[in-house]
Chains A and B, each alone.
Chain A
């Protein structure tokens, strides 16, 4: 019953539906066929074109191969054995038709020319030299890939390495539409409309779900629209290159820097070891602003604001240290001077009163105002310099300022900033323009009305000023802010280091004075600005305090000697064979607590962490003075770390190793525990091993404990290493080296010559995993004195109590090696 009722309406609607869908299907089928036919034609055309090219190429080759014939003389040819043999072959095999039976001789009767044997070299896979470890490229992974191997002696037997677990999933892969499919669905939907029926039929000839098809259609639609629009927009889209750059925000402009610059290697972009797009870790403690005393500064250029200041200070006593007081004095003085002149008019007096208040209330801004006033006087002072005492100009300038004050009082709409500027301007210039001012005042008395006429023009002047400020591109503004962060409010340094070629020192200084015109949501940075500004007056004090602070932390390092090296030391001392932990910088903004990833991971915080200097988990380095960090007395050495000149107290790096005659510094000698960092390696030679395969040899004799070189390679995950290990085991040559809990070194295709050093139970070298600048690296060190030219061997463990099960005497080694291969991979000798 149910089926009946259900089928009935279907039937009723079914017939017309089928009808339309039938024609639709045939239409779409037609389209499909058309596309396929076009494809066949296009292939044909491609082949034709290619064939024509090929014939030209062939005829060029033909002329080359025919040239030998003509270039050689007859005599030459006659002496050529191959030609001789052609005339007198050693023997002939008659064709089958000429033979009644198959009685052509078996084997070659001719006398053979012997090729003397050549000594062949041990086998190896082509490898490239690596000076430092690199992270595996994503395309180099063999996980999830089908690998096929053939047994050497099994003929054609193919063995697939990976079982079903790694069959690549096709379901998750999005269908990629071919050009033809695009055309089909475009044609179908454009002509027949996007209905379910059409969709249904289309999805039969186009792969991908109907949803994907619909999405694709929308994409195509958008693309087509875009293409049409582009035509119209193309003409109007001209912009100068530099303009585009400067319109970008700092974030966008620094994008490649943020993503590509390696903060661990400092000098590298697109670091092959630490990779791109590392998380940006900002130190929780801001660096103190770099600054130099104002008085020591020399003008940075002829556009320097200091030049203005010099001019202005001509009549002032100049004690560079007490800048602040001086300016206050200047302001007061200016007020005093201006006051009598402004008493003339009752309205002016009001201005005066207001101004005084303002000066006081603005004292917080003094600093920001200060540089600005230099630039404000830029025009006038320049004129003063060039056109000496041009009274008219001077007075005009002065008029303008006063007018602005008036304007301020009357028109409150004028921005706060500009009014301050004008006030300061008048006071700043007052010292210099003193003689002119009297004239100006007098002039003003007489031309009281022109004052108000000038009012509007001067306002316009102010707005001009503001307009010029808007010339600052977003990038320049942000660069400026960064500059303030770095150098404080030092326009010389900012202009020179960050805005070189874009803005002059004076422009920067003038920009500095109006911080409130920012409207770009840079509030937080502005706050910081404010702080810096506030700090500025007692800069010297804070600097000295800074130094003291540093001293303190140093002291605390002494005192917390035992606590300063918490994990690393313990690890060694306890003698547990804990696997070494990979270090990843933490981003803790406060002192690291229990949640700190470094802490939970069991590593120390390093200099790359974001946490503060006083972090309890931070590795504090050693302070060895005389031991040269060559024994376990050195905490770095004992912890399996190389000393870090940034962290350790007496471990320093000098240029030229003393050969340049630089004065000796603290400590008696060089730190002996930075050799991997400084790459003070020995010359290694590659030759046939006395044992098997290739071997590594030392060129010059070395002493016990000398650093020989680094075992470099590709850094791969343990999972990847397991996969590769299987293959390497099959080939019986493995160059895997366990590095830490996350990474394994594979030197198979990338490495250095030390990868060829073989294993020996009584080795002359040892391999040690060292933490060098946050990275684990494998160093090869001499275990005893080694003579020049000796072959190098090393064992897998550092110390007897650390010896893993697989590093046992040779007799058992081969068995155990395989059983332990999964946990701890190690080098095996190459044997073929």
Chain B
């Protein structure tokens, strides 16, 4: 059911003609294994490791580095001894001292925190009642992570102390699996989550911030921490009419996608008088053809200048996010890339785009705009 837009509230829709603002070429392709890869992510939380990325698929977590000339180096590899584990998501985090952590979760519902500095499992968080669909890290406080789960909740964790601080669920919570969640880039209290109940919800932990602070100094058993429920979001948006499987903040706006072949940029307008209710102003649309299956996630570069998203047929669309109307920077096509792309990763400056596919391959695309052809 297409949303009907009244005059003067129509979104600005981007044109699907590539502008070739940037020219990307495949520089590497590697087959990690047979199992589908669900996530690939660059390290954006520690400037020393900006070229390091991690992938998850099956019961394996692998750490790579992008080197010059399209070379990819394998740095570390972790395997869950439970063969049935299937990781869906991974995120970079750190303890309070800055040791680089990897936080991964999947079908088992157990969050694995790996200290890549010592190559050991640091902690495992048991608590979610079902599989974990996405984990994200608070960039300003990189020991805080949030996880979105099939158990209809979003949880905030302190990976340093191993505490589950808050649970965003209950009376006003999601009514089906939560598929995606994201921290606001600057408002440290705000998160947005979306899922199979077709809604996007914005939550605030402002009232509960004392618990977040308490979690850093907690010395008792983590299970004794007074975990709080946040039962009501501050904003509840029905932007889509189907599963919402990815959402990201773009400043104070939200980018979200469903299975409707497009990414939508919208502004949440919170009504002060009636918390929880609000108006959505859909500003822009970024079309993505053949993107009608769920669990396809997009990614942005560090500066949110561009977003890359794969589709069901192995093509990647790179959109300039902040121009109006949106500009399709590039459309990445390779005859051998045909498998659905579950997630992409855009490097710090957008010069490298990685994609991980259902068939277990990782593709590396490099910006060759200013590189003279060899």
Contact = CB atoms under 8 A, between A and B. Distances in A.
Interface in A104-144: 104, 106-126, 128, 137, 140, 142
Interface in B129-175: 129-130, 139-140, 142, 149, 151-153, 167, 169-171, 173, 175
28 contacts: A43-B11, A44-B324, A57-B251, A58-B185, A61-B185, A80-B118, A81-B116, A85-B76, A89-B74, A92-B74, A93-B72, A94-B70, A96-B70, A102-B29, A107-B31, A108-B32, A112-B77, A114-B79, A118-B110, A124-B151, A125-B130, A126-B153, A126-B167, A128-B231, A142-B175, A150-B294, A177-B6, A207-B6
Contacts of A122: 129
Contacts of A89: 65, 73-75
Interface stretch (B15-23, B44-52, B205-213, B216-224): B44-52
A69 B76 contact: no
A137 B171 contact: yes
Contacts of A47: 253, 283-284, 322-324
B99 interface: yes
A126 B128 CA distance: 8
Interface in B193-212: 196
A108 B303 CA distance: 32
A179 interface: yes
A750 interface: yes
B253 A81 contact: no
The 3 A-B pairs of least Cβ separation, nearest first, read A180-B8, A95-B70, A178-B6
Contacts of A176: 6
Interface string A784-823: 0000000000000000000000000000000000000000
Interface residues of B, number: 104
Q: Which of A89, A181, A749 has the most CB of B within 10 A?
A: A89
A116 B33 contact: no
B121 A115 contact: yes
B100 interface: yes
B130 A50 contact: no
Contacts of A314: none
Contact of A68 (B47, B52, B80): B47
Contacts of B70: 94-98
Interface in A705-764: 749-750
Interface of B: 4-12, 26-33, 44-49, 52, 60, 62-63, 65, 67, 69-82, 94, 97-100, 108-110, 112, 114, 116-121, 124, 126-127, 129-130, 139-140, 142, 149, 151-153, 167, 169-171, 173, 175-176, 185-186, 196, 229, 231, 241-243, 250-253, 267, 283-284, 293-294, 302-304, 322-325, 364, 374
B interface secondary structure, majority = loop
Interface of A: 32, 35-36, 38-40, 43-44, 46-48, 50-51, 53-58, 60-62, 64-66, 68-69, 71-72, 77, 80-83, 85-86, 89-98, 102, 104, 106-126, 128, 137, 140, 142, 146-148, 150, 156, 176-181, 183-184, 205-207, 749-750
A92 B71 contact: yes
Contacts of B196: 148
B79 A104 contact: no
A107 B73 contact: no
Contact of B74 (A57, A94, A108, A113): A108
A533 B153 CA distance: 63
Given A82-B117, A126-B169, A58 B27 contact: no
B80 A43 contact: no
Given A38-B8, A126-B151, A61 B80 contact: no
Contact of B229 (A61, A106, A116, A128): A128
Contacts of B284: 43, 47
A176 B6 CA distance: 8
A178 B4 CA distance: 11
Contacts of A81: 76, 116-119
A183 B12 CA distance: 19
Given A58-B302, A93-B71, A112 B78 contact: yes
Given A113-B120, A115-B79, A206-B7, A124 B129 contact: yes
Given A40-B12, A43-B283, A85 B46 contact: no
B151 A125 contact: yes
A82 B52 contact: yes
Nearest to B231: A128
B77 A120 contact: no
Q: Which of A43, A48, A90, A104 has the most CB of B within 10 A?
A: A43
A57 B72 CA distance: 31
B45 to A, nearest CB: 5
Nearest to B176: A147
Nearest to B121: A115
A128 B8 contact: no
A583 B158 CA distance: 49
